[in-house]
Structure 1
Amino acid sequence: MSIWHLASSIIMGAPKTDRFPNHLAMIFSVLLLFLRASAAAIASDTLNNGGNITDGETLVSAAGSFTLGFFSPTGVPAKRYLGIWFTASPDAVCWVANRDTPLSNNTSGVLVIASTGILRLLDGSGQTAWSSNTTRSAPAVAQLLDTGNLVVREQSSGGEVQWQSFDHPSNTLLAGMRLGMDPQTGAEWSLTSWRAPNDPTPGDCRRVMDTRGLPDCVSWQGNVKKYRTGPWNGLWFSGVPEMASYSELFSNQVVVRPDEIAYIFNATADAPFSRLVLNEVGTLLRLAWDPASRVWNTFAQAPRDVCDDYAMCGAFGLCNVNTASTLFCSCVMGFSPVNPSQWSMRESGGGCRRNVPLECGNGTTTDGFMVVRGVKLPDTDNTTVDMSATLDQCRARCFANCSCVAYAAADIRGGGAGSGCVMWTNYIVDVRYVDKGQDLYVRLAKSEFAKEKRMDAARIVLPVLASVLALTAACLYLVWICRLRGQRRNNNVQKKEILGDENLELPFVSFGDIVTATNNFSEANMLGQGGFGKVYKGMLDKNKEVAIKRLGQGSGQGVEEFRNEVVLIAKLQHRNLVRLLGCCIHGDEKLLIYEYLPNKSLDSFIFDAASKKVLDWPTRFQIIKGISRGLLYLHQDSRLTIIHRDLKPSNILLDADMSPKISDFGMARIFGGNQHEANTNRVVGTYGYMSPEYAMDGVFSVKSDTYSFGVILLEIISGLKISLTHITNFPNLLAYAWSLWKEGKAMNLVDSSLLGSCSPNEALRCIHIGLLCVQDNPNGRPLMSSVVFMLENETTALSIPKQPVYFSQRYSEAQEIRENTSSSMSNMDLTVLEGR
């Protein structure tokens, strides 16, 4: 009998006599309550057989590290989930039971453990929303461990574990959890992202262990392979050598057994809380808790850069993010691009092919192997692995197999060349240079090595021959050197002034070639004219159509803006950004050469009564999403954080398929890693598209571009300009849109030419998102990552926009400004619209 049952019996059974007075009964009652409270505290991490916890109650692990209970995601109080979170950081939810079946907020959920040992989550009507689905039937208890693992074990002391949450991960991997699979049963332990930051529903992104060949962690988005770590080499994944840099805090291992192939990390005694989180866009973050500042610091993330994109350079391609070239891809020696013209346009996914076929067949070969040092090993889905072989044996086996195109050591522990053997057949793909990378031995025809020997001989002969020729040419050189020296010095000085120390492999095109390509800048070749000069159509390099931007000498675009545009666009690669092909500096002339886009700019369609009919609703919706993805790349996904500062329809160009491409980066600015906003005394851009804080105070951030995007979104939907001069009682388009939205008449904003093709739900959602983007307070505007999610996911809940503050223009059109003056704000009124 328990002590509190004994105490209760004494109190209830004792007569109220002098032998057992009332004050003693009171003392025993207090003692009973104390014992019960103590017992409850001791058992707060355990749910006993037949017990339950309801919404508002929790289990807390013995050391208080983790809590299990009911929660609602931020901003979604109507949905309740059962989950486990870090006690010190309740927003850091690391496991969710009912991801697909949330409980309503007016339903009293309860977690019970049945007499059979099965955990069940019941809604208010007693229906099962989730269960552990264990097959064994025995009395059991559930316990939340200090590892964050919820285990169900037999009730007897030290009973066998029947079920555990660690076998059913959500989007988070904790210390001691497994990422992998059981080859015998097919059971898989993988991460699945949340659909949105406030929606635990399984999203499109997954993190799994690829067990073909060598173990390799792979990220998928739907059915598309997005990123891989590289195979495990005994110390780290070959593409993530930085794992060694935090080995004092976290130990990493890959377990390979008949019943388990899995990656596991464990924390050392002094390590902070850590978690690996797969976020909504497929990025894996290693986060560590800082108890002093009470924030999660990012230790590492993957993918890190453009070279982490799967198969970035195609078969037999090498990616190098540290190259001075804006084209990160090259071919392995002995290979050339499959499609050179695509590579010249920085589209290298087609990969490379051999220059000379292999000389292998009938049991004989004269081929050899060339070593590529310091790389992430290729995808091992087409490999043969033998962990017992030496590297010499591996070479011999590959040499004897005509299908073998490369080999490498499978295990680098112990130093030297390594041990074990992995051989690739037919092709290699997804190779990049990394610090502390491995050696990869690639098969080449014998003649390729003969070329290398001839090159060695040439290195000896050519200097001697060059000396003789130099003496002969010296006299001729002196004749014309004086004439060239002045021109060359001027050009070099200008290039140095403009580009500084930037070493860009961007073609510098001669001014003469541009004059020829544009028929001497004829009016017939002119495509358009803007504040910074004129744009001409030209023909370069074997009938290749290009657009040439000639900056006017009085345009206001100086050296800084020209350098901005050259350096920024040359380093950026995205389908929704215009591609820079070259530039020219000739005296006072500064010219930029872009890809030619036949459909010109967005404003030429949406604001023209005839042309706007070409853009039906599906096309406009794709344009909206394309612009948002381009901005997301600038703000978050590129190597740099870039603020455009001059986003407007005339700077959105359309290709032959009506896909949008953001252009004109002359006003763009780069932010450092920890920089969130900046201030300038030189306000540039176009009124109407400029955010209030930028126009009035010169403060700009990524939220400034969000504001501009919101204006453009409303213009695309309505076909109306921001200035809105022909509708009375409204100072601008934002005022008109807000008024209609408040009155529940937002569909009246939609361009009449879209009524036959428009999806009302999509249009209303876009208007809602547009109003969120133009909130006057930057903190009220969403990041572009959230905008992309809201556009892509119709079920994502949207917050209610507040009444915006916007500018009443005294001009008939949005006015473009390039310099801040003391009177720059005198022509603007700050107006708050009251909804009718």
Structure 2
Amino acid sequence: MGTPWDSSSSSLWAALGQASSVAQLVGVDALGLVSMVVQAALAARRHRDACVRLAQHVELVGVLLRELELAELMRREATRRPLEQLGTALRRCYALATACQDCGYLRRLLLGARMADELRAAQHEIDMFVRLIPLIALVDNSTNSRRAMVEEGVLSVVTDSSNHHVRFPTRALEFTKIRVQGATELLNVQEQPFVGKVDLQEQKMSNIEELAELCAHIEAACTGFAKFNFFQIVDATNNFSEKGIIGRGGFGTVYKCQLSDGITVAIKRAAEHATVSSELQLAKLHHTNLIRLLGWCIHGKERILVYEFMQNGSLDRYICDRTKGSLLDWSKRLKIIKALTDGLVYLHQGSKLWIVHMDLKPNNILLDYNMIPKIGDFGSAKALSSDVAEERTRRVVGTCGYKAPEYASRGVYSMKTDVFSFGVLVLAIISGRKNTILDKLGDTVGDLVRDAWHMWKDQRLHELVDPSLGNEYEIAEIKRCAQVALLCAQEDPADRPTMTDVAAMLNSESMSFSMEPKQPTVLSKGSDRESTASTFMGQSSRTIDITITSSTPISTRVRIILDPKV
């Protein structure tokens, strides 16, 4: 396969200085490269729209690759060569996306509009592989299967960034649908008359209607969850005035507003492409230390969730601020730690649904007028079938420094994912420090966890304590909380306690610990290795539902359609 960059690639790499970094990626397989390209593109600061579009198309390649046996295909000459060419294309995409992350003034001056042209060329090349990959899969079929394919028709793939369609011969495959959520901006492609084409606006409307039906069903089943009037919300927020904003995030914007009955609430206005189904689980959960979801509102494209208002904001406003840190003395901090423990025990085992929050951090711990903490922001939460269940996801979310190592590197999550985040959170509450991950040095737990372990081992935990607390604390309580936190923040999830165990250890002063936290992995000095994101195979079935998301709220669809006319 030819490449649209052949005539200009050498001069491009000379300008970017990327040739050596591209060469270093030769050993990374196609799936690993897909994740690296997507992450690099979504982190771009310049040419961001073009990079996001490129990420969308590369993610689609990843979806298709996950349906193949790559190791086997790489052994065959007929399929190895196009896959190697795909790897080369992905490495170039990675170099382009990386160059867009931090482009100095001179580079910007030299490259300018040319970089945008190269990004478009990259996207075009990736689209060619989107069409090619299903054909690669067919090469690996048996001789009889290939003969049957030839007799019944030729496989065709038509790419449309709002709906991707793949047509198979009638007898080759029963109807299969793949849904992929994963792109921010959609391309305008000339209309193609394929079988079963779904208009994007119709699909959006269908999703809104389905969401409204789900909200109505939850409203009927859950006391205290009600539908709110949209125009009442518009009036209460002064037409969503900037002055009323109290929080922003990838999932939407949060406003403080006082309703006509005098009740003050927090209004979360979902971003256009954000999903809210995970947060609706909150309507079924009732605990003192979980934020209450009061209601919902859907009006046109607007999707709004109504929460109880927390007068004292988020925990990070206090523990990460030297001037406000003294407002939280040690007794209050200890109460917050124990209350959060109770809330997590309920999430993991006490409710009908066993929930993994997935994004525990000081920003998502909200404080009411009595400084009672409530866990908020369930936009990333996942339900599990048992307390020992372990799942994998391609969508790794959360905040660096609070994500468990196995989740950050491999997408593996379980109840122990929250346990790790809780351990780091407790250390942050004790110290008033943030946890920094040093990726290039092979760091997996962060500097706060590492420092705390050494202080605990050397019996100098007084050095860990937030200076704003002065000497107003019990060192025995500090030691107990720090040791529990270190047990929670161990690298191996099997070494971490459950939240029930954590509650027992924190609430029993006479209880002695049978286990000691292991030393975190020693950093590799001078290592220049880049962190890579892992990718995962999904199970295939007649109907496959795949979600691809990233730090940017994005949405697209892929549909494999049986065409009886082929």
Indicate whether 1:778 and 2:493 are aligned: yes
1:34 match: none
Indicate whether 1:699 and 2:418 are aligned: no
Q: Deviations over 1:738-765 (max 9, x none)?
A: 2222222111000011133211100111
1:595 match: 308
Indicate whether 1:563 and 2:282 are aligned: no
Choose between structure 1 and 2: higher strand proportion.
1
**Counterpart pick for 2:403 among 676, 690, 715:** 690
1:629 match: 342
1:400 match: none
TM-aligned CA distance change 1:589 to 1:608, over 3 Å: same
3-state SS, counterpart of residue 518 of structure 2: coil
Distance 1:763 1:677 in 2: 32
Indicate whether 1:767 and 2:486 are aligned: no
Distance 1:500 1:699 in 2: 33
2:430 match: 717
Q: Judge conservation of contact 1:565–1:665 (CA < 8 Å) in 2.
A: yes
Aligned residues: 320
Distance 2:461 2:208 in 1: 57
Q: Deviations over 1:644-701 (max 9, x none)?
A: 1111111100001111000111111111247621111221211211111111111111
Indicate whether 1:616 and 2:329 are aligned: yes
Q: Judge conservation of contact 1:746–1:764 (CA < 8 Å) in 2.
A: yes
2:517 match: 801
TM-aligned CA distance change 1:526 to 1:622, over 3 Å: same
1:441 match: none
3-state SS, counterpart of residue 563 of structure 1: coil
1:572 match: 285
Distance 2:212 2:305 in 1: 17
State percent identity of aligned pairs: 45
Distance 1:714 1:744 in 2: 16
Q: Judge conservation of contact 1:607–1:720 (CA < 8 Å) in 2.
A: yes
1:478 match: none
Indicate whether 1:583 and 2:302 are aligned: no
Q: Which amino acid aligns with 1:550?
A: R
TM-aligned CA distance change 1:715 to 1:616, over 3 Å: same
Shift in Å at residue 515 of structure 1? 0.5
Q: Which amino acid aligns with 1:584?
A: C
Shift in Å at residue 497 of structure 1? 6.6
Q: Judge conservation of contact 1:509–1:583 (CA < 8 Å) in 2.
A: yes
Indicate whether 1:514 and 2:229 are aligned: no
Shift in Å at residue 819 of structure 1? 6.5
Shift in Å at residue 495 of structure 1? 3.0
**Counterpart pick for 1:740 among 455, 460, 472:** 455
Q: Deviations over 1:270-321 (max 9, x none)?
A: xxxxxxxxxxxxxxxxxxxxxxxxxxxxxxxxxxxxxxxxxxxxxxxxxxxx
Q: Deviations over 1:613-662 (max 9, x none)?
A: 10000000000011110000001111221111111111100001111000
Q: Deviations over 1:78-114 (max 9, x none)?
A: xxxxxxxxxxxxxxxxxxxxxxxxxxxxxxxxxxxxx
**Counterpart pick for 2:211 among 495, 515, 518:** 495
Q: Judge conservation of contact 2:400–2:436 (CA < 8 Å) in 1.
A: no
Q: Which amino acid aligns with 1:696?
A: S
Distance 2:221 2:282 in 1: 11
TM-score for both structures, normalised by structure 1: 0.36
Distance 1:702 1:789 in 2: 17
Q: Judge conservation of contact 1:692–1:776 (CA < 8 Å) in 2.
A: yes
3-state SS, counterpart of residue 476 of structure 2: helix
Shift in Å at residue 789 of structure 1? 1.0
Q: Judge conservation of contact 2:212–2:298 (CA < 8 Å) in 1.
A: no
1:532 match: 251
Distance 1:700 1:807 in 2: 24
Q: Which amino acid aligns with 1:529?
A: R
TM-aligned CA distance change 1:806 to 1:540, over 3 Å: farther
Ranges in structure 2 where 5+ consecutive residues have no aligned partner: 1-201, 529-546, 552-566
Give the number of the structure with larger relative contact order, counting CA–CA contacts within 8 Å between residues 6 or more apart: 2
TM-aligned CA distance change 1:762 to 1:664, over 3 Å: same
Distance 1:580 1:522 in 2: 22
TM-aligned CA distance change 1:701 to 1:807, over 3 Å: farther
**Counterpart pick for 1:642 among 342, 348, 355:** 355
Distance 2:404 2:499 in 1: 15
The root-mean-square deviation of aligned C-alpha atoms, in Å, is: 3.0
Q: Judge conservation of contact 2:266–2:309 (CA < 8 Å) in 1.
A: yes
Distance 1:807 1:514 in 2: 51
Q: Judge conservation of contact 1:734–1:806 (CA < 8 Å) in 2.
A: no
2:379 match: 666
1:792 match: 507
Q: Which amino acid aligns with 2:394?
A: N
3-state SS, counterpart of residue 642 of structure 1: strand
1:753 match: 468
Shift in Å at residue 718 of structure 1? 0.2
Shift in Å at residue 801 of structure 1? 0.8
TM-score for both structures, normalised by structure 2: 0.53
Choose between structure 1 and 2: higher helix proportion.
2
Ranges in structure 1 where 5+ consecutive residues have no aligned partner: 1-485, 811-817, 823-836
Q: Deviations over 1:45-93 (max 9, x none)?
A: xxxxxxxxxxxxxxxxxxxxxxxxxxxxxxxxxxxxxxxxxxxxxxxxx
Q: Judge conservation of contact 2:388–2:415 (CA < 8 Å) in 1.
A: no
Distance 1:610 1:666 in 2: 31
Q: Deviations over 1:364-404 (max 9, x none)?
A: xxxxxxxxxxxxxxxxxxxxxxxxxxxxxxxxxxxxxxxxx
Shift in Å at residue 504 of structure 1? 3.9
